[in-house]
Amino acid sequence: MSEQGGGPHRVLLIVSGGIAAYKVLEVIRRLRTHGVAVRCVLTRAGAQFVTPLSLQALSEDKVYDDLFSLTDESEMGHIELSRQADLLVVAPASADILARMAAGMADDLATTVLLATDKPVLVAPAMNVRMWEHPATRDNLATLIRRGVSVIGPSEGAMACGEYGPGRLVEPDQLAAAILRRLGLESAATEQDTAPKQSAPDGGLPLAGRRALVTSGPTHEPIDPVRYIANRSSGRQGHAIAEALAALGAEVTLVSGPTQLPDPPGVTTVRIESAEEMLAACNHALPVDVAICAAAVADWKVAERAPGKIKKQQGTAPPALELAENPDILRTLSARGKARPQLVIGFAAETDRVVERAVAKRQSKGCDWMLANDVAEGTGTFGGDDNAIHFVTADGVEDWPRQTKRAVAETLARRVAAHLGAASHDEAAE
């Protein structure tokens, strides 16, 4: 149901400059098929690639552009324009508009509307690979993600400029599905997901259209307003996995405890502190195709958090902390019945009898795969750059060579893609 109460769901689609702008015509068509009202704002650069007339014909609504005049303003103020939508989508989102959004500029209608809105914003970047990889763009994106903007894509492939790499706008079916899902139109989104995909010989990504959830970092369990119980997890492995899945085209939600790391670009990061908050954020991110629990969740919380700072009292014994068990997120996700992700993956941090314990832990947690690592003192795994993994599945154990956490993440992402690809192939064959 639309937030306007009863009316259709409404999307304000901001089309900025880029050769991929033509793809949004198909996105509008798909959204209209599902009864979504689409109103377009076309930037000056966008108008070089797609005409107001085509947007108007498909959206069956007036197109707002920089010629937005005082007459228009009296009919529909720019604040109204942003508030009358349930969701704002910027597609294609050029490097330029991302930079202007991050800087909080309001120098044309599109950025004014984006600055004035109180509605969720989804951006679908598309640009030359070098522009995408430039630290300025990465910083801008990290800023926007931190402020709650969601990102889909870009995908990887041959680009109009002749280069190859990430920077292509995601395909219309993926973008339409992501928009429908954010509007709460789950079954319409699934229809898009399962519609026969156009073959993309020039670089369709193996996890395109797939949704992934990753937990990362430690949790902080409050004792009182100034103290907490924590552990040494840096979050590096979980963050690298989120980034590697996104690089293969997945729509990734990263639920992270407190870390020093920047939010990975192209990933929706939800920052939490305690295990209970982590579980709530994970439940909120469902449904997903794959869930990977890489967080070092505290097993215990303080049974009763003190409302004020616990004071030291001369001559009395130190206070005894009573602990209570935290929810087990991996076990909970593995036992979600119909809502269970197709693939649930955990990590086993062990200090001795690593493989034996990981094999037992995979079974007791009910997950599909377990990545076991030795976290004994002296291995440098916690907080370090490298990881030596024993990969445990129902079929047995593989020992992966010691490699960087980034390489572990990339290997795992490829395994996930191969598994989900093979599974959907089997379904199609049935």
Tell me how many residues contact ligand CTP (CB under 6 A). Answer: 14
Closest separation between CB of residue 362 and ligand CTP, Å? Answer: 10
Phi-psi region at 188: left, alpha or beta (left = phi > 0; alpha = psi -120 to 50):
alpha
170 contacts 152 by C-beta, under 8 angstroms: yes
Q: Which stretch binds ligand CTP (CB under 6 A): 80-88, 108-116, 165-173, 345-353?
A: 345-353
Closer to ligand CTP by CB, 6 or 337: give it: 337
Q: How far, in Å, CA of 127 to CA of 280, rounded?
A: 35
Closer to ligand CTP by CB, 207 or 275: give it: 275
Among 349, 408, 409, 420, binds ligand CTP (CB under 6 A): 349
Q: How far, in Å, CA of 184 to CA of 94, rounded?
A: 27
* By CB under 6 A, residue 326 contacts ligand CTP: yes
* By CB under 6 A, residue 110 contacts ligand CTP: no
* By CB under 6 A, residue 330 contacts ligand CTP: yes
Closer to ligand CTP by CB, 13 or 302: give it: 302
Place of tokens 């390489």: 407
From 161, 282, 293, 367, active-site residue? 161
Closest separation between CB of residue 86 and ligand CTP, Å? Answer: 33
Closest separation between CB of residue 352 and ligand CTP, Å? Answer: 11
Rg of the Cα trace of the chain? 24
Q: Which stretch binds ligand CTP (CB under 6 A): 26-34, 65-73, 164-172, 342-350?
A: 342-350
* By CB under 6 A, residue 392 contacts ligand CTP: no
Closest separation between CB of residue 234 and ligand CTP, Å? Answer: 14
Q: How far, in Å, CA of 154 to CA of 132, rounded?
A: 9
Q: Which stretch binds ligand CTP (CB under 6 A): 67-75, 85-93, 113-121, 341-349?
A: 341-349
* By CB under 6 A, residue 348 contacts ligand CTP: yes
- The residues in 260-279 that bind ligand CTP, with binding defined as CB under 6 A, are 275
* By CB under 6 A, residue 293 contacts ligand CTP: yes
Binding mask 201-230 for ligand CTP (x = CB under 6 A): --------------x---------------
288: nearest Cα among 342, 367, 365: 342
Closer to ligand CTP by CB, 248 or 349: give it: 349
Cα angle at 212 between 206 and 215, to 5 degrees? 135
Whether residue 161 lies in the annotated active site:
yes
**What contacts 338, CB < 8 A, 6 or more positions away?**
none
296 contacts 349 by C-beta, under 8 angstroms: yes
For 15, the 3-state DSSP assignment is: strand
* By CB under 6 A, residue 247 contacts ligand CTP: no
Place of tokens 């089997």: 426
Strand partners, 417: none
Q: How far, in Å, CA of 186 to CA of 365, rounded?
A: 29
- CA 102 and chain centroid, separation: 18
Three-class HEC string of 326-392: CCCHHHHHHCCHHHCCCEEEEEEEECCCHHHHHHHHHHHHCCCEEEEEECCCCCCCCCCCEECCEEE
Closer to ligand CTP by CB, 266 or 346: give it: 346
Among 346, 368, 419, 420, binds ligand CTP (CB under 6 A): 346
- CA 99 and chain centroid, separation: 20
Question: Which sequence positions are flagged as catalytic?
Answer: 161
The footprint of ligand CTP (CB under 6 A) covers 215, 275, 293, 295, 297, 299, 326, 328-330, 346-349
